[in-house]
């Protein structure tokens, strides 16, 4: 297969982790006889520095034409003045919106060898295997904003079409998995949530009677995720709830550095694959960031954008074997024997079979 992959390293640890992910993708291409070409473009803070804007048109064009996009992270203290007119995060939000990436898939499957790194009791983590579908291009992230000296506002708005399409993606995913969908909202307070819940109930009844649908309020969901994480299969929710719940869920896996994601739009459109962790400015440039979330994101890229299931599984199994062998970066290592980003990536390269 010939595929054109755009790499957006971004800021902070982004360049370090995407560099090793490209090495792993090249190794997989060689192993399986594929021809992947890679081109790098700026996004986020580096794009503000080089082009004066966080999402240059050249970057967006390249992504729109690509077969898939691998992204590192955006943001950092250099660009984080709250009064700044342009911010790196705007680039990320703009590319999600421009490419129509409304469904953000964030799988959570704690690895047995990394349970020691989770603050949650290991007996609660056994058999945890769920996936959060976060709505990614609507809600309070994208509503009108106002700010004056006395007040500020952010509008949370959803159309029924926006809610329907992400719910359908989540229902379909549940059908392919264990047939259970948990829809998370705040229907006791928010009008957008009441619309969300009505639509979820209707689509479930009319189109997916085979999927067991449950509704949860986001505050109690935050609790249940810790108390009984094994009870979930597919969880679907709106943009900001999904942002918050998935950082919480990453603690089940032991580290933010282990969670990949896929941002997908309509069938056949380009997808963006990125770790859910941020740019980690505190460790940027030190070569110690955990690359596993990015490698697992590269696996999702192979699976969802290129349809290369065996190749995706090869990367996932290699990461699993590296974890089994106790090959941890500093976020996971007990003490002393932490691997560098490069060593961890090499461990995965050595285990590709």
Q: Which residues are annotated as a binding site for Mg(2+)?
A: 219, 243, 247
Asked if 135 interacts with Mn ion (CB under 5 A), we say: no
The count of residues interacting with Mn ion (CB under 5 A) is 1
Residue 203 or 252: the one with the smaller Cβ distance to ligand IPM is 252
Give how far Cα 50 sits from Cα of 47, 154, 273, Å: 5, 30, 23
The residues, ordered by sequence, that sit 6+ positions from 114 with a Cβ below 8 Å of its Cβ are 253, 254, 255, 258, 323, 328, 332
Token pair 């709830």 in the structure block, residue: 241
Binding site for ligand IPM (CB under 6 A): 75, 89, 92, 243, 276, 278
Among 185, 238, 243, 316, binds Mn ion (CB under 5 A): 243
> What does 75 bind: Mn ion, ligand IPM, none (CB cut-off 5 to 8 Å by kind)?
ligand IPM
Q: Which residues are annotated as a binding site?
A: 76-89, 96, 106, 134, 219, 243, 247, 278-290
55-67: buried (b, 16+ CB within 10 Å) or exposed (e) per residue? bbeebbebbeebb
For 21-26, the CB contacts below 8 A with 24+ separation are: 21/70, 21/291, 21/294, 21/295, 21/297, 21/298, 21/345, 22/70, 23/345, 23/349, 24/295, 24/298, 24/315, 24/345, 24/348, 24/349, 24/352, 25/70, 25/298, 25/301, 25/302
Q: Copy the structure tokens of residue 75.
A: 């943001």
Nearer to Mn ion, 42 or 274 (CB): 274
Q: Which are the catalytic amino acids?
A: 141, 186, 219, 243, 247
Write down the least CB distance from residue 87 to ligand IPM, Å.
Answer: 9
In the bound state with ligand IPM, the residue whose beta carbon lies nearer, of 15 and 204, is 15
CA dihedral 4, 95, 248, 231 (to 10 degrees): -70
- Nearest to 297, CA basis, from 76, 5, 36: 5
Question: If DSSP codes are grouped into helix, strand and coil, which group holds residue 20?
Answer: helix
Q: Using CB distances below 5 to 8 A depending on partner kind, what does residue 207 bind out of Mn ion, ligand IPM, none?
A: none
Nearer residue to ligand IPM within complex by CB, 102 or 208: 102
Q: Which is nearer to Mn ion, 29 or 262 (CB)?
A: 262
Report residue 177 as tokens. 């998995």
Q: Which range touches Mn ion (CB under 5 A), out of 8-16, 29-37, 164-172, 237-245?
A: 237-245
Select from Mn ion, ligand IPM, none the partner in contact with residue 92, using the beta carbon and a kind-dependent cut-off of 5 to 8 Å: ligand IPM
- In the bound complex, what is the minimum distance in angstroms from residue 247's beta carbon to Mn ion? 6
- d(C-alpha 104, C-alpha 96), whole Å: 10
Q: Which stretch binds Mn ion (CB under 5 A): 186-194, 243-251, 287-295, 297-305?
A: 243-251
User: What residues form the annotated binding site for substrate?
Assistant: 96, 106, 134, 219
Q: What residue is closest to Mn ion based on CB?
A: 243
Q: How far is the CB of 267 from ligand IPM (least distance, A)?
A: 23
As a whole number of angstroms, the longest Cα–Cα distance in the chain is 61
Instruction: Tell me how far, at minimum, the Cβ of 250 lies from Mn ion, in Å.
Output: 9
Sequence-distant (≥ 6) Cβ neighbours of residue 276 within 8 angstroms = 106, 246, 247, 250, 256, 259, 260, 261, 293
Closest CA to 79 of 43, 26, 119: 43
Angle at 20 between CA 323 and CA 36, to 5 degrees: 115
What is the residue whose two structure tokens read 């500020």? 152
Tell me whether residue 136 or residue 344 sits nearer to Mn ion (CB atom): 136
In the complex, least distance from residue 49 CB atom to ligand IPM, rounded to whole angstroms: 18
Q: Which residues bind Mn ion (CB under 5 A)?
A: 243
């Amino acid at each position: 297969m010939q595929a054109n992959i755009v790499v957006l390293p971004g800021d902070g640890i982004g360049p370090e982790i995407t560099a090793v992910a490209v090495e792993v993708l090249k190794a997989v291409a060689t192993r399986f006889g594929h021809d992947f070409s890679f081109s790098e473009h700026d996004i986020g803070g580096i794009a503000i520095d080089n082009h004066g804007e966080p999402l240059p048109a050249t970057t967006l064009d390249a992504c729109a034409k690509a077969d898939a996009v691998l992204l590192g992270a955006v943001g950092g203290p250099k660009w984080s003045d709250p009064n700044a007119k342009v911010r790196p995060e705007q680039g990320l939000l703009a590319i999600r919106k421009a490419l129509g990436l409304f469904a953000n898939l964030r799988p959570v499957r704690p690895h047995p060898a990394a349970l020691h790194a989770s603050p949650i009791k290991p007996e609660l983590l056994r058999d945890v295997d769920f996936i959060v579908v976060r709505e990614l291009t609507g809600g309070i992230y994208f509503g009108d904003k106002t700010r004056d000296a006395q007040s500020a506002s952010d509008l949370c708005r959803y159309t029924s079409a926006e809610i329907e399409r992400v719910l359908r993606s989540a229902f379909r995913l549940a059908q392919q998995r264990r047939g259970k969908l948990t829809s998370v909202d705040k229907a006791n307070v928010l009008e957008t949530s009441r619309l969300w819940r009505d639509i979820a109930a209707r689509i479930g009844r009319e189109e997916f009677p085979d999927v067991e649908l449950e509704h949860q309020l986001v505050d109690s969901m935050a609790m249940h995720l810790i108390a009984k994480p094994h009870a979930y299969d597919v969880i679907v929710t709106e943009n900001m709830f999904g942002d918050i719940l998935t950082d919480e869920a990453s603690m089940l896996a032991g580290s933010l550095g282990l969670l990949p994601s896929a941002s997908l739009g309509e069938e056949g459109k380009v997808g963006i694959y990125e770790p859910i962790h941020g740019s980690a400015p505190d460790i940027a440039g030190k070569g110690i960031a955990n690359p596993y979330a990015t490698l697992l994101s590269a696996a999702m890229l192979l699976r969802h954008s290129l349809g290369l299931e065996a190749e995706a599984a090869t990367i996932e199994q290699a990461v699993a074997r590296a974890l089994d062998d106790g090959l941890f970066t500093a976020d996971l290592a007990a003490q002393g024997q932490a691997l560098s980003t490069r060593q961890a990536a090499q461990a995965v390269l050595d285990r590709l079979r």
